[in-house]
Structure 1
């Protein structure tokens, strides 16, 4: 029997305002704990987008990759430090769409690409087609292309972009084609080159840029990419010169901006940063702000939501204590520490990267020890997050926190930071700590889902925060500093303010003025939704990008 998903299909009639067919390409989709096709924020964003597309009956499909080993499974060595594990994943709930295409890679003949679909009713999302090269008939090397998300081998990373881009575009063609092709970050850039050669208009291609970080704006030698088949055909030297910059480099973001009708940054501040970053390159698309968002129906605890809607502070606090106990069971299981649900609990949880400064609290150890040993205002602190497996600096930070916290009863470092743990940390925390260096965090959506669950943001004024923050009323914000200062000086200034705000504002309010604390919690929940709900974002994509 032929699958419904071998043609463009939704189990609902698309809403008239969202009838245009849109194919959304993303290297990551975080749609459920049991489907490990993501590493972090990019995937969480894409997953919320697909959930809102389903809720709103949008004519959208997702195109992603079926990672055989996922990103990695985060474990511990014998001394509790980070261990990177690769464990094979199998998903019996994905349906074979019956669609298979071929893509040429590195001049070595064709590689077969097969599409498996996550049906909408399985996870309450738009259909998502996951591509794999682990297909009978491919040689061993070809079958390993889709083994690991963000593989450390450069050639494999290029091949992955070709599979997602050209392979994905061919799958969409087999489904009947789309009106709009949307790249969520530059990983699938080969799609735009392939589609251009198929005669698609620039008006059908749009692009989301996600980060000002160099590592997130990939750049490789044009000749290397040309030999690999990145452009879908062999470009002449003259053609290649038109695509490259800086003496022969191809910057994925610059190329995507040149090939797109329109592009978006993921916050208002990020739009300004992006416009400035790419202003010297000609013929690039306009970059507009469409701030990232998350699906509150998926991320927000129902009990907390009901208590907030009724403005019942007593019920809310009772539910929060219950949720803290659930989180603290995980803390006990992983670390042997028994946390107290009546104590203010701070969480720092996201991808470990240098600019996010997971260890900013430890900048002045004397002040930090005073903070964590204060009997009047007791505190518990949890860190969680996955460093990139070859980012040795980030792994060193993770391990430093492990060693520092190991024998301190109110500090914990958790492993396994995926969807379920992320939910537990947001529902079970009182304060959500966010410490990126200013202008470096494009959006930072973890704080949105924290606010949805009554965890008060304490943050530098970066990413989405300037659009949300009412300092002292719905969150606490560190004063702006000069982001052009040397990094060590930025860290010193921010650390001074962080200790000051924690000891003079956050902790005294939590303990001495619980009525005001509850007002801050409810105000944050009121302000975060619907403005930072992915329903708003999904609508904005149609109205401002796809129209």
Structure 2
């Protein structure tokens, strides 16, 4: 072990993880009590911070302290989704005495770093940045109010605070060897480094980048003069910015710039690595794109009693514990909806962001068939949906509201609000089947199925993201056949729907109700196969091995 007295770690650093890594992310989900995340990107980053702590790695996290979080999800009087923005207060964050200044639209903005110490939630030291300070004017104070603000100029200001403000905080802490961007939101850090080194090759030595999505909306582009006026390029002259990024047109592609300014990058599953290389390798000057499959922190997510039953090969104890794990979820269902679910009934859960490509309503493609399926007297099904649509995405909110309205017609169909860490844990522990229905290959990773498998839920999924590396149909999962992605989306949806219903009716329902031995065998194999490969300890190790020490 090597000592580290510059960063406030709770332990000595393991010498094989000695490089100083500053990990920049717009979201971190480390605890229910800290509302600094919206979805999977944050869940992944939170698990990374936990495993970096567990492995004694020389890393710190740099994020933003969102005054209103993402949003609080509730219901209106007419039973449609309500979006609430409520101020959050965190007494366990410490003022570490570091305040830096950035320039947004030529105005100075003060940025204070608040420290989350390792012993609070079991993470490496984390610094959350806020502009909500008395010395800032009203507009500047609002920069760190809402995660993914709908106003473009505010979103750019948030990137400036994270990238340039975060880099200046790292400077105040003694600097870092590698600045790791978890998605492109913190890209202005590259221009801070360029201002420091005045050598783009030197910038590349210190930059690593993880791309999380093949979705166009997730790979931001903005008009280059707009970014220049906002201060995104940290006062690097525009022509010089064009030279070092290769952006010669009117639009500036954030992901492409990150790929050109980093020494190495990675996709977040093996399939996504292939997709990312196909997307970006046709552009001149991009760095190597590797693949490090996302993973989740096992000690945080896995139920200990269930795992003990697996280790001792006690089928009766495992089945009983899984039945018990449904109760907290069903109490939440009863509290929110007034419906009483039965722990002996097959329970299917779909829970994730309500992005269109994730197809939240695929199971409801034929409403009458769906109602007939879940209401069979001898083999009924309970279905639960949960997730937070982006609050300003009218289409996603409409799908959520449509599901809500349909759910009022059935006693065994529930839609829950408040999909955050605690509800996520209850859903994964209470599910028998974890349903995942994205259009392939648009799901980069989709880690929720990993933590579901850790808790005895069987994945029922399209072969996308991490699933091809894990799933064996009928052995540890139930998997939809791959459909031709060149077909129109409507045809793909129709084929996936019919395959899904066929597997449900012919394999999943009979196994659950008529062949408990087979059901337990698949459950146990799933739990065995998901760990250790999909543990974030493996992932955190691979980042040092393949990215930081590259």
TM interval, shorter chain, is: over 0.9
Structure 1 residue 239 displacement after superposition = 4.0
Q: Is the 8 A contact 1:18 1:542 kept in 2?
A: yes
1:42-441 maps to which residues of 2 (within 5 A)? 42-108=41-107, 110-199=108-197, 200-237=202-239, 239-240=241-242, 243=245, 245=247, 247-441=249-443
For 1:159 and 1:306, the matched residues in 2 are separated by: 48
Partner SS, residue 414 of structure 2: strand
Structure 2 residue ranges without an equivalent (≥5)? none
CA distance in 2, matches of 1:179, 1:238: 24
**Alignment partner for residue 527 of structure 2, among 503, 506, 525?**
525
RMSD: 1.3
Task: Indicate whether 1:512 and 2:514 are aligned.
Answer: yes
Structure 1 partner of 2:547: 545
C-alpha separation in 1, matches of 2:545 and 2:369: 49
How far apart, in 2, do the equivalents of 1:6 and 1:106 lie?
37
Measured in 1, the distance between the counterparts of 2:236 and 2:191 equals 11
- Residue 136 of structure 1, CA deviation: 2.1
Post-superposition offset of 1:376: 2.5
**What is the SS of the residue equivalent to 2:451?**
helix
Q: Which runs of 5+ in 1 are unaligned?
A: none
**So what's the TM-score if we normalise by structure 2?**
0.97
Residue 320 of structure 1, CA deviation: 1.2
What SS class does the counterpart of residue 271 from structure 2 fall into?
Answer: helix
Equivalent position SS for 2:259: helix
> Deviation per CA, 1:67-110, whole angstroms, max 9, x where unpaired?
000000001011221100000000000011110100011012x1
Q: 1:538 to 1:47 in 2, by over 3 A?
A: same
The number of residues matched between the two structures is 542
Moved more, 276-285 or 43-52: 276-285
Q: 1:14 Cα deviation (Å)?
A: 0.3
How much has 1:243 moved relative to structure 2? 3.1
Q: Tell me how far apart the structure 1 counterparts of residues 188 and 238 of structure 2 sit (CA, whole Å).
A: 17
1:25 alignment partner in structure 2: 24
TM-aligned CA deviation for residue 483 of structure 1: 1.1
Q: Secondary structure at the match of 2:74?
A: strand
Deviation, 1:244, is 5.6
| CA deviation string 1:338-376 (max 9, x = no partner) | 000000000000011100001001112232122112223
- Given that 1:53 and 1:126 are in contact with CA atoms closer than 8 Å, whether structure 2 keeps it comes out as yes
Matched residues in 2 for 1:178 and 1:527: separation?
Answer: 36
Q: CA deviation at 1:318?
A: 1.0
Q: Give the 4+ runs in structure 1 shifted more than 6 A.
A: none
Alpha-carbon distance in 2 for matches of 1:120, 1:238: 40
Contact 1:263 1:545 in 2 (8 A): yes
Deviations 1:303-337 (A, max 9, x none): 11111111111111111111111110000000000
Residue 119 of structure 1 and its aligned partner are, at CA, apart by 0.4
| 1:157-196 deviation per Cα after TM superposition (whole angstroms, max 9, x unaligned) | 0000000000000000000000111000000000011112
Matched-pair contact (CA < 8 Å) for 2:233–2:241: no
Structure 2 counterpart of 1:476: 478
Q: Distance in 2 between matches of 1:138 and 1:325?
A: 48
What is the distance in 1 between the residues matched to 2:438 and 2:342?
28
TM-score by length of 1: 0.98
Deviations 1:214-269 (A, max 9, x none): 11101001110011110111423464365364732111100000000000000010
Higher mean alpha-carbon deviation, 241-250 vs 525-534, is at 241-250
How far the C-alpha of 1:6 sits from its partner, in A, is: 11
**Contact map agreement 2:7 2:125 (CA 8 A) in 1:** no
Q: What is the deviation of 1:146?
A: 0.1
User: 1:54, 1:125 within 8 Å by CA — same for their partners in 2?
Assistant: yes
Deviation track 1:272-330 (CA, whole Å, cap 9, x = no partner) reads: 11001112211101100100000010011111111111111111111111111111000
TM-superposed CA distance for 1:135, in Å, is 1.4
